[in-house]
Amino acid sequence: MTINKSMNGNELTVALEGRLDTMTAPELEAELKNSMDAAQSLVLDFAKLEYISSAGLRVLLSAHKVMARKDGMKIIHVNEIVSEVFEVTGFADILNIA
């Protein structure tokens, strides 16, 4: 999985490419841990994300909890497969999916 980060003022944008699963979730977790302190809001761009597993969902939930204490987190450009996972797991009700 490739992770591309950019800061626009206080907004951190993290674009993922590939699969977010048991193998790659720790990498995203580490990157977010390093970067979220400096950000007031977080945007996760899933335009090139092919697949998300439970391990990936857990990382999103942790990030959501951290950013909820600031200006929040949103997820953009979610494909059909990932969208279905969010629906079935109830994450669609928890996360801000644009």
Distances (CA, A) of 87 to 2, 10, 12, 25, 60: 25, 30, 25, 20, 14
* Cβ proximity to another protein, 37 vs 84, nearer residue: 84
94 binds another protein (CB under 8 A): yes
Burial level of 63, CB count in 10 A (0-12/13-18/19+)? buried
Q: How many residues bind another protein (CB under 8 A)?
A: 14
For residue 72, which phi and psi values (nearest 5 degrees)?
95, 180
17 binds another protein (CB under 8 A): no
**String of contacts with another protein for each residue 51-90, x by CB under 8 A:** x-xx---x-------------------------xx--xxx
Binding site for another protein (CB under 8 A): 19, 21-23, 51, 53-54, 58, 84-85, 88-90, 94
